[in-house]
């Protein structure tokens, strides 16, 4: 089974700034190959916040809590 990673925009930028591969912790260079394969899913910070808010609202309403 392959590993899934979810990166925030700031995390992506930091790894790029450090010159690291997005899949492994090794330095990235043209022709780089990772020892293992990964799925990489990126999430926009605004989208993540909207999904979190929606999940919180759904969880509260399912529990019978009103705000």
Residues 12-54: tens digit of each pLDDT: 899 999 999 887 888 999 888 887 766 666 777 777 777 778 7
More confident position, 8 or 48: 8
Q: Which residues pair with 38 in a beta bridge?
A: 3
Residue 1, Cβ density class (10 Å: 0-12 exposed, 13-18 middle, ≥19 buried): exposed
Q: Where are the domains of the chain?
A: 3-62
Report the predicted TM-score, pTM, of the whole model to 2 decimal places. 0.45
Strand ranges (DSSP E) for the chain?
A: 3-7, 38-42
């Amino acid at each position: 089974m392959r590993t899934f990673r979810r990166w925030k925009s700031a995390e992506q930028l930091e790894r790029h700034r450090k010159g690291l591969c997005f899949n492994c912790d090794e330095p990235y260079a043209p022709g780089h190959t990772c020892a293992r394969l990964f799925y990489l899913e990126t999430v926009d910070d605004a989208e993540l916040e909207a999904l979190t808010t929606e999940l919180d609202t759904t969880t509260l309403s399912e529990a019978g809590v009103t705000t």
